[in-house]
Amino acid sequence: MTIKIAFAGTGYINKVHAQAAQNLGLELTAVVNHKTDTMAAFGKRFGITRQYETVEAMLKDGNVDALIVSTPNYQHAPQTITALNAGVHVMVEKPMAMNAKEAGNMCEASDKSGAKLMVAHCWRFDPDVLWLKQQSKRLGKIIRTKGIGVHTHWGPSGWFTQKQFAGGGAMADMGIHALDTARFLLGDPQPVSVYAKIGTFYKDFDVDDTGVIIVEWDNGAVSYIESGWWQPHADGPEAATQLYGTEGFGELFPTHLELPNREEERIDVIDSGFEFPRKEHCPQSLYDDQLKYFLECIEKKKTPRPGGLEGLTNMKVVDAAYESSKTGKVVNL
């Protein structure tokens, strides 16, 4: 069966998802956007003739199996829930919602309808990340992690910088990449507490452009995460992560292990063999692999990971980070 897939949103990232759908031989069926001109251009590029201003109108005409939601954050929950209630499977971009309450409602809609819900935390499908996850058992117990979700000398514009449409700024946009990557590498523990200092220092936004977040997990590890737009420096590219274990050190980008050889008093470096820096840090193949997994979940009727619950956990941490920064106190979860 060829999956008939539709797209809500016509921005940069949904063009990447649509290209992935083409690469995988799917039937690109419909597109939804309130801007008819950009929708027409998107439709022309990907050969999509069915074009709608609302998800409801698209669903009314039927004949859609799955929807990719890549609209501004404030539309994620309503569009996703509408599709799920109609029995249409959904892959929604990160952050999955404006807050954890919305994310919970999305999970409930998926549970009730049986339609699959996946959150596009793309780094879980990256070869470097998967290599480090597989090798991380050589590091002993992971004590702490450091993660980077930072844009240097650049930042997004438009709705990304408006709280009413985005919910949050660099933490919700970039920090969530570092957060989810660390959590994935740690085996998806649950958060115990969050402390954060988040602010706006580089541009005149009503959302944050700078953040430092400390998350304590129920497996005893602690994650330190930096988020930012327009920063003067970053210690690594998007999703760069360091793992500090009792038996060694592991790192993403450049991806390798450092294992102390105490008998011979040296450090053994285990290189992943992956190129760094890459020609493209976020290559098309990453999104192809992500969408391929989503299709497998639909066909084999299995719950996606990252699914609604992984996205919900991330939203709880993001909410707690903003609350902690506002109050100056640790937030216990």
Q: Note whether 143 and 259 are same-domain residues.
A: yes
**What does the alpha-carbon distance between residue 59 and residue 87 come to, in Å, rounded to a whole number?**
10
Predicted pLDDT of residue 86: 97
133 shares a domain with 116: no
Could you tell me if 268 and 222 lie in one domain?
yes
Q: Which domain holds residue 251?
A: 124-281+314-332
Spatial strand order of the sheet with 256-261 comes to: 266-271, 256-261, 248-251, 241-245, 142-152, 222-231, 210-217, 191-199, 331-332
Same domain, residue pair 107 and 182: no
User: Do 253 and 297 sit in the same domain of this protein?
Assistant: no
CATH assignment at residue 12: 3.40.50.720
Q: Say if residue 168 is in the same domain as residue 135.
A: yes
Strand-pair category, 241-245 with 248-251: antiparallel
- The tally of domains found in the chain comes to 2
325 and 205, same domain (yes or no): yes
pLDDT in tens, 156-204: 999 999 999 999 999 999 999 999 999 999 999 999 999 999 999 999 9
- Residues 30-50 pLDDT 10s: 999 999 999 999 999 999 999
Say yes or no: 94 and 176 in one domain.
no
320 and 223 fall within a common domain: yes
| Helices vs strands, H then E, count in the chain | 11, 15
**pLDDT of amino acid 199:** 97
Judge whether residue 1 has pLDDT over 80: no
Q: What is the CA radius of gyration of the chain?
A: 20
Residue 132 shares a structural domain with residue 110 = no
pTM confidence score? 0.96
Q: Is the dihedral of CA 272, 180, 210, 80 positive or negative?
A: positive
Q: Are 31 and 51 in contact (CB under 8 A)?
A: yes
Query: In this structure, what CATH number is given to the domain that contains residue 186?
Result: 3.30.360.10
Maximum C-alpha span of the chain: 70
Neighbours of 162 (CB within 10 A): 16
Angstrom distance (rounded) from CA 109 to CA 80 = 9
| Crossing angle between the packed helical segments 12-23 and 36-46, to the nearest 10 degrees | 20
Measured between its terminal Cα atoms, the distance across the chain in Å is: 43
Residues 115 and 23 placed together within one structural domain of the fold: yes
Per DSSP, the three-state class of 94 is coil
Q: Which amino acid is at 327?
A: T
Please indicate, yes or no, whether residues 188 and 88 belong to a single structural domain of this protein. Answer: no
